[in-house]
Structure 1
Amino acid sequence: MDLSGLEPANCRPFSVADHYLMERGSEQGKWHRVSLPPEKGATEFITCRICEDISLTRSLCTFVSPFLSRVCYPMDTTLLVFGFRGRSAIGFSEDDLSHVVRPGDVWMVNTGGEALYRYTPAHDLNEMVVIKYATRRIGFVFPQQTRAVLRGDRPWIVRLGYQESNDSWISDLLNNGFTSSLDCLRAEARALDVLARWLRPLTDTVDEARVAPGIDGDPHLEQAIRLLTRDLAATPSLEELSRVLGMSHTRLNRAFKRAFGKTVFSWLRDYRLARARAALKDGHRSITDIAFQCGFSSASHFSQSFKQCYGCTPVEFRSSHKLQEVYCEYGTR
């Protein structure tokens, strides 16, 4: 992944305290504005605690020097991160800021109780919106197969969206005036709906690809799957993967063949197609965006690969799925 301009240069992390997060004791259904100390630059954090287990923060920051923050959430937290302007790198240590949030990106982060680090270069306006869910509230939605891959007991980061129109996802939340208790209920429902729509492709893919049974507790395979699936638009090469895992190409391919009956990148191709197939069920997302997000070089390449695997084009699949939904909705009346 290209991290040019995003390598922390002797930055000392700034610990983000509770009064910036508004996680504890803040009044439900009220917008709060806070800023970092003025010597850090022009910063504004607009935060609302939607309900006991869900909050939202919009950050607008232009730092006078490269800025590294360390955020400690008071509980195990799952984040949906929407990039709007600028770039920031995130990770779970100062030495592993390998996930770059760009405009149009959507990332999911499970903190696993760990601190999250964020690095932002100087002078560029950076805008990001984060919806924060207490993991205890939403953990049940992950089927056992998904938990085996993402390791709910450990921190993980995965990119779910690429070049998205993020306004459409969170504008209802940002524009909510919270003038009544019903507005709080509406915001809670919207936050959960956004989460469900982004989780569906992830959970459906793990189930369809039968990832978890193949892993069967093998730590090398677990790590390989996490590295391959955390960002399908920027996967590591076989050489990079082998180096990180401390295994030769031959041994790694042999492990995948034993677990899944196919080589590393044959497995990855099929996983990409399964992830794209699940994403196509959401009619609000364009086929081109899904293709790039899942790592295909073009929409035509995606369409060709999809038809070879499933016997129909993405357009035909989406049309067929819509007909099935109509039947399910009206056929039993």
Structure 2
Amino acid sequence: MYTLFDSHALKGQHAVKTWQQNGYRWASYSLYREPASHELYIPHTLLNLVIQGHKRMYDGRQVHQLEAGDVLVIPAGTLLCSEILRPAQQYRSINLVIPDEMVMSALAGRARLQDAYSKELTVQSGDRRWRQLATTLLQGFTEEGNPGLACENILSQALHLVSSNGALSSMLLKAVKYPLPDMMDQLRTRLPEVRFLEEIAQMGHMSTATVKRRFREIYHCSPMQWIWEKRLQMAGFLLRTTEQSIPEIAYSTGFEDITHFYRQFRRCFQVTPLQWRHIETDLFSK
């Protein structure tokens, strides 16, 4: 269901440019001229800088509406859904992928692991320093040949801006301090199938007690609660981006009973699936 974000090339792109260092793709520029939607598994810390246009990012119980000037901060190991809305002209963004070791070294002294907490996705906006960084990157991508921008310097600048938020730094640090790569790589394709905690623990090669502790440390919820939120996230995304029937969406995302799906969906989003599909409300505000 969720595509591994590694090459930076996604369906619907009109153009994409990437920068590499030692074979590692650390930055990309994307241009869209038509609506597009993606289900993505983000294995490493990712910063998404919106240059032009609008999009929605689905994060469990919350939908983020992003516009030009916003920066979406995504921890390593995240499953998310992205909807690029009908662009009046075009949608442009820049992605920065930050290696785990850089996150550890830059944020270890700034985050308070025990008492600071941020949600999985965090939107930062209105900071002129982010706008300046985005302008510098955009100029580099629009120039022909060598952009002349050093990977380490750019990523260090970005992490310095992130580090001013202690709760956000904590979230990013926890995600790389307690990685679950084997588990997430399986969950990205098997999420609708999972029924028991023991299955999740087996995917991560750990005991049920350990996997419960890890999810509490990183996501502040139980593993099965996280699973159900991701299923509802995908259901909400499919309702907005496809013409599949509501029962089809319910069954494809892991719900075995339609009544249970309706009840859980309304409890999560405060509207019915049909209302969610057709209305524009504060649910889609920033």
- The TM tier, using the shorter chain, reads 0.3 to 0.5
The structure with the largest alpha-carbon Rg is 1
TM-score (norm 2): 0.47
TM-score (norm 1): 0.42
Using CA pairs under 8 Å that are at least 6 residues apart, name the structure with larger relative contact order, 1 or 2.
2
